[in-house]
């Protein structure tokens, strides 16, 4: 069933709201970055090129089909549209966030990968790869980033920024915040010495403990026996 006009407008509002939240958190600045959500029915709502993201309105979110053709909106979509569409085609993504966030971008200038230094990174897939540099909006950049995302929900983009995806827009925003936190953690630790990296056994132990304890979910207090 085709998406209704009301549903598409709701999705456009949600993308604009996500842009404002990410700006407030310091991950977006000016027109640098883009956000999209899969609306179903082979369509994506994505920020328009030139939109000031901290002041984004639903009118600055364009709806395109999987071929990149505009189906709703008055502005051209972001120049990184091919990257967004590629992620939707190749991965099970419900939303995509691309930022030029300062800490992630700083690491993209010097690292080939962000090692797993904290178990929270496991939510993104452990070690975060850095995709080789290519001009923004180019097919080469999309190809590099798609490869870097293999088995991950986040990647850094050399001398450029970061990209994450999630099953929902809320989760994609959460992943963007988590990635920036992990990058900041590494930066601060590296200023003091060489950060310790979690090895595969340590990562596996964390995963096992999380599954056993239901980590990340709330649990009612167990009634004490008399």
- How are beta strands 113-114 and 95-99 bridged, if at all? unpaired
Vertex 17 angle, CA 15 and 23, to 5° = 105
190 phi and psi, to 5 degrees? -65, -25
223 catalytic? Reply is: no
Give me the catalytic one of 80, 113, 180, 223.
80
Give the closest residue to 163 by CA, choosing from 208, 118, 210, 125.
125
The span from the first CA to the last CA of the chain, in angstroms, equals: 56
Tokens of residue 198, six digits: 């979690």
Rounded Cα distance, 184 and 178, in Å = 10
CA distance 31 to 223: 53
Residues acting as catalytic residues: 80
């Amino acid at each position: 069933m085709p998406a209704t006009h009301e549903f598409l407008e709701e999705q456009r509002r949600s993308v604009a709201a996500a842009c404002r939240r990410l700006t407030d958190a310091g991950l977006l600045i000016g027109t640098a970055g883009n956000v999209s959500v899969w609306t179903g029915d082979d369509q994506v709502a994505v920020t328009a090129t030139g939109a000031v993201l901290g002041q984004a309105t639903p009118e600055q979110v364009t709806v395109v089909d999987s071929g990149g053709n505009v189906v709703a909106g008055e502005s051209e979509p972001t120049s990184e549209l091919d990257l967004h569409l590629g992620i939707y085609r190749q991965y099970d993504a419900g939303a995509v966030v691309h930022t030029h966030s300062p800490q992630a971008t700083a690491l993209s200038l010097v690292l080939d990968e962000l090692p797993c230094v904290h178990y929270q990174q496991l939510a993104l897939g452990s070690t975060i790869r850095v995709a080789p540099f290519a001009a923004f909006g180019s097919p080469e950049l999309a190809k590099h980033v798609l490869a870097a995302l293999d088995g991950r929900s986040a990647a850094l983009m050399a001398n450029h920024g970061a990209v994450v995806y999630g099953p929902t827009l809320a989760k994609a925003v959460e992943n963007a915040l988590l990635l920036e936190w992990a990058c900041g953690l590494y930066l601060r630790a590296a200023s003091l010495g060489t950060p310790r990296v979690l090895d595969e056994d340590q990562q596996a132990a964390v995963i096992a403990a999380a599954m056993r304890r239901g980590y990340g979910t709330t649990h009612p207090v167990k009634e004490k026996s008399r």
